[in-house]
Amino acid sequence: MTSRSTNNKILPAGEIAGGAAGRKVFVRTYGCQMNVYDSGRMAEVLAPQGYSQTETLEDADLVILNTCHIREKAAEKVYSELGRLRKIKDERARAGKPTLIGVAGCVAQAEGEEISRRAPVVDLVFGPQSYHRLPDLLVRAAGGAKVVETEFDIDEKFEHLAEQSKRMPLARAASAFLTVQEGCDKFCTFCVVPYTRGAEVSRPLGQILQEAEGLAAAGVREITLLGQNVNAWHGEGPDGRPWGLGRLLRRLAEVDGLDRLRYTTSHPRDMDDELIAAHRDMPELMPYLHLPVQSGSDRILAAMNRKHGRDDYFRLVDRIREASPGLALSGDFIVGFPGETDADFADTMDLVRRVGYASCFSFKYSQRPGTPGAAMADQLPEAVKSTRLAELQTLLSDQQRAFNASRLGITCDVLLEKKGRQAGQLTGKSPWLQAVQVDAPDALIGTIQPVEIVDIGANSLFGRLAGGQYGSISPVDGSRQEAAF
């Protein structure tokens, strides 16, 4: 193992003390939970090289933008941020402080050499399957090379990270992400993921267990399994045969210290009987499921290449709710896909009303270069898409408020994760993935406590420890209200 020094020479790991140990890295993360996971692993890869994380751009010797290509104008937002970073890099250079700037993630994968051409301030560009090679890439960049590394090699990355997790158990929060699957074979016509993350690859069971056990040993109580199509996971089991996600969840429930399990994001076509049964049988598997449908119109679903219809989705939701009646359902919707008519949009609104969601993400369709949807005729005017999105979001917000209101007065287990905004307040997570604010001492961070829900805010539930001696926080003005017991 090696470490970077202040004069960019390579030092043995034992010589990190001194200049190299003072190196700082700033990582800005855009987009999905998998990018959050990747950013954390980048920090772990860099730690043996003498880099510690900083929240201040101006203090960073290395700046990494971990980008996402899903949102509208994602690439242009990155270039805008790079313009700001150029000024910071110039100011630090005048003070004798060299700075390296890297662009990682899906925009890096999609744009490649174009980023170096348009933004000479960038020293290295690397895709989501290359960050385990960061130490070597930094050596090349520090030597003056313009580095572009966008080759796909998910297996190599997973093997490297598995070995790293043995060497470097780091302190963790009460909950953590764990990537088990990457890539996508579905090729929805609106989506860039197959082109930026590659084909579906599943990590083997042994690697996942090793990482999960390390997280639990570091104090993690809840793990969320990640994948572009996480329920398509079919990793190699101990007998050399593929396991499914339902079986993986049951095995993870046996890890000492892990009390809660979640997974995201799922595709309706990959919800098999074993996984649905896990929702029925496993108290460790939280009663929350993110199950995107994207549209309620069969015609638009076919144009999106979703490979399922609205009735297929209805039947699947019925089966899941029969197995787990208290489950909260979340979803994704895209409005204004090319050719979407008023009737198609009405079908989406009808689906939302019939299903009933606890929470949802909804977006206007935007063209992604290289995807089939971008070349389709009948692209809709922005005004039409904006009007439809506003109507859909009003309905979804009403459903979310109704679901939150249905929690009022219940007592549920809450994982207390960190300090809240108010003194003496902790923020936690309900079984249904809602933020919960509760008065409690810091000593309870990282524990799961029964909490009575006493009030509902716009974005949070407010509770008090069941049978405890602490007050609650009013969501209206933040004042403390003493509870009667």
> Residue ranges for the binding site?
32, 68, 106, 184, 188, 191
Q: Which two tokens stand for residue 382?
A: 């922005």
Q: Judge residue 408's burial from the number of C-beta atoms within 10 Å of its C-beta, 0-12 exposed, 13-18 middle, 19 or more buried.
A: middle
Q: Which two tokens stand for residue 268?
A: 């309706």
Cα separation, 335 vs 366, whole angstroms:
10
Chain centre to alpha carbon of residue 60: 24
Q: Are strands 2-4 and 100-104 parallel, antiparallel or unpaired?
A: unpaired
Residue ranges for the known binding site for [4Fe-4S] cluster are 32, 68, 106, 184, 188, 191
Q: Rounded to the nearest 10 degrees, how much is the dihedral formed by the CA atoms of 439, 287, 222, 180?
A: -150
Cα separation, 24 vs 55, whole angstroms:
10
Cα separation, 444 vs 465, whole angstroms:
11
Backbone phi and psi for residue 394, each to the nearest 5 degrees, phi listed first: -65, -45
**How crowded is residue 267: how many other Cβ atoms within 10 Å of its Cβ?**
22
